[in-house]
Amino acid sequence: MKKIGLMMVVLSATITGLYSQVRKVVPKNDNEKNVVAFFEAGLNKKDFADASHYIGATYIQHNPKAADGP
């Protein structure tokens, strides 16, 4: 149980750190503009409909030990 709590704290700190970094990004190209727009819609505005434009129909898992999503 303690491991789960620690993992949640680490995950929360990581997300918070990423969130604060995203707010400081000045996009330089189309890829960066898309990433910033996704985080702005999904995290800052909490607007899933707007953020979903940047999400594909299937998730490709980048961990070779885990399966792809639906």
User: Whole-angstrom Cα distance, residue 60 to residue 36?
Assistant: 20
The better pLDDT of the pair 4, 36 is held by 36
User: Whole-angstrom Cα distance, residue 41 to residue 52?
Assistant: 9
The average pLDDT across 50-54 equals 92
The better pLDDT of the pair 11, 45 is held by 45
pLDDT surpasses 80 at 44 = yes
The average pLDDT across 18-32 equals 71
Contact 58, 68 (CB under 8 A): yes
Contact 22, 42 (CB under 8 A): no
User: Whole-angstrom Cα distance, residue 12 to residue 3?
Assistant: 14
Contact 57, 33 (CB under 8 A): no
Residue spans per domain, the chain: 15-21+28-58
Percent above pLDDT 90 for the chain: 39
pTM, full prediction: 0.51
